Structure 1
Amino acid sequence: MVKNSWYLHNIKKGIQTSTLLFFSLFIFFGHLFSFLFQSFLFRFSLFFERFLFRFTEFILCFLIAFSFIVFVFCFFINCSLRAFTFRCRITGDFYFIQLFTVQLTFPTGRHTVFSGS
């Protein structure tokens, strides 16, 4: 029993030492890599900065426009379904709207099938 606990203690110490060694080498080589390529990256930093700024600006504008279009589209579909008096049957998790053999999926938390009356 004592011998087994001594082995386990040595295994735990070895794991701790190897983990510490791995992280210290990782930090050392990370600093070495950043020091070696700092001058190379500095030349292209303005290009990367402009590119990343424009790319993130495009992505944000796209997401805002897409969410607005989806909101307007869902509002229009709901208004048109109310206006045309469709029957609704709740069956699960998501909205499935069937309007003249067109199925649309909305992640609103309910599963609804619409059919014309």
Structure 2
Amino acid sequence: MNSQPDQELEQRLQQLEAEINSPTSPPVVAQPQQPVSPTDQPSVVPIVLYRFVNWFKGLSNVGKLIVVAVAFFVGLAILRIVLRLVAAAISLAILAVLLYFAYRFLSARTSDKS
């Protein structure tokens, strides 16, 4: 009756030795917790990009075409907004220069009359 549990223990011990000695499983070493500075943390962007690429590869051809088309139109919309903002900034700069010269002209004219 005692031989069966002994055999099971012996088998389990051999399995554990085989797992420990196998080259595929790296040894688990507990490392002390150290405070992590923001520069030590891995960047989130590569992880998100990797997930997106895997998700995109999993799509069908029609799905890929739809995603590319939507991305193209969203990119065009963003580019259009940026160009409008740049044009508005340039217009405001030109208006400011014109107002400055008008002020200088009027202030010089009023000082000549005095």
TM-score (norm 2): 0.39
Q: Which has the higher strand share?
A: 1
Q: Which has the higher helix share?
A: 2
Larger Rg: 2
Higher relative contact order (CA 8 A, sep 6+): 1
